[in-house]
Amino acid sequence: MQSDISSLRAEILKHQLEQREALTQTLRMLQVASDSLSKVSARTVSIQGDVRGEMRAIREQMLQVQTLLGQSQATIARLRSEIESRSAAPVGAPPASTVPPVPPTSGRTTTPLAMDSAAARAPGPNQLYSDGRDQLTRGSSATARIYFQELLTNFPTSDYAPDAQFWIAESFAKEKNVAAADAAYAAVVSAHPMSVKAPTAFYKRAQLALQQGNTPQARQLLEQVIARYPRSDEAELAAEQLKTLR
């Protein structure tokens, strides 16, 4: 009887040891699987970060390309204005020495013909935009703004008006005049909300806010870019940047 009890105890102990060993082996396998899963998860996060960084770099390069295209458009505008000026020049005009002098008339200093000639010599929107871009490229921001502002004043409905307002803002930004640049960018959106420069102006305002350390305002502006111009490249840039601000 005593030997049977001893045998039963030995069997139970052996069974417990086998279960403990099996449990230990299972825990080891789970630990290995958990470590592998952690490595895969970390690698996935790293890959996602790399992809997001590359996409953001590509979008920023696209914005730079748009700026270069704007410069090309300025060159085209300058050539067009030169062609227009040459086309408007009188052909076969007699030499000045053969034109009889016009006697002065009391009470009138400018004839209608002279007024028409002056109007014909006044620069059009193409010329003003071209001259403004040339001055901005040379670093003469203040002079460039004079041309752009004259364009906006005399030709407010011109196709060049949104771009002129945008480059006014850019000129202030180059001068580190943040308040004036922000107001000029805002004018692009308010006056020309459907132009291609509007989402860029919104995004630029957000960058100015970040430079000043105003993260809440920057976040608000980035969210407005996404809400108002969801299909723009700037909206994608804004979405990526918002992830780093939260």
pLDDT average, residue stretch 137-153: 94
Average pLDDT over the chain reads: 77
Looking at residue 103, what is its pLDDT?
41
> What percentage of residues in the chain have a pLDDT greater than 90?
49
pLDDT (tens digit per residue) in 9-63: 777 777 777 777 777 887 778 787 777 676 766 666 566 666 666 666 666 655 5
Q: Do residues 80 and 124 make contact, with C-beta atoms less than 8 angstroms apart?
A: no
Separation CA 134–CA 129 (nearest Å): 9
Q: Where residue 143 falls among pLDDT bands split at 50, 70, 90?
A: very high
The partner residues of 245 in beta bridges, in order of sequence, read none
DSSP state string for 169-202: HHHHHHTT-HHHHHHHHHHHHHH-TTSTHHHHHH
pLDDT (tens digit per residue) in 172-185: 999 999 999 999 99
> Is it the case that residue 65 has pLDDT exceeding 80?
no
> Is it the case that residue 130 has pLDDT exceeding 90?
yes
Separation CA 175–CA 167 (nearest Å): 12
- Helices 197-211 and 215-228, interaxial angle, to 10°? 170
Separation CA 222–CA 241 (nearest Å): 8
Residue 161 one-letter amino acid: A
Helices (H) and strands (E) in the chain, counts: 9, 0
Separation CA 64–CA 199 (nearest Å): 14
DSSP code, position 246: -
> Is it the case that residue 125 has pLDDT exceeding 50?
yes
pLDDT average, residue stretch 110-125: 59
Looking at residue 54, what is its pLDDT?
64
Separation CA 133–CA 127 (nearest Å): 10
Looking at residue 91, what is its pLDDT?
44
Cβ neighbours around 220 below 10 Å, total: 13
Residue 200: partners with Cβ closer than 8 Å, 6 or more residues away = 63, 66, 166, 234
pLDDT average, residue stretch 170-198: 95
Worst-scoring range by mean pLDDT, 7-21, 59-73, 91-105, 188-202?
91-105
> Is it the case that residue 135 has pLDDT exceeding 90?
yes
Separation CA 156–CA 208 (nearest Å): 27
Q: Considering only CA atoms, which of 198, 194, 170 is closest in space to residue 182?
A: 170
Looking at residue 114, what is its pLDDT?
46
Looking at residue 57, what is its pLDDT?
62
**123 or 79, higher pLDDT:** 123
**Hey, what are 199's tokens?**
């989402």
Looking at residue 241, what is its pLDDT?
93
Residue 188 CB-half CA count within 13 A = 27
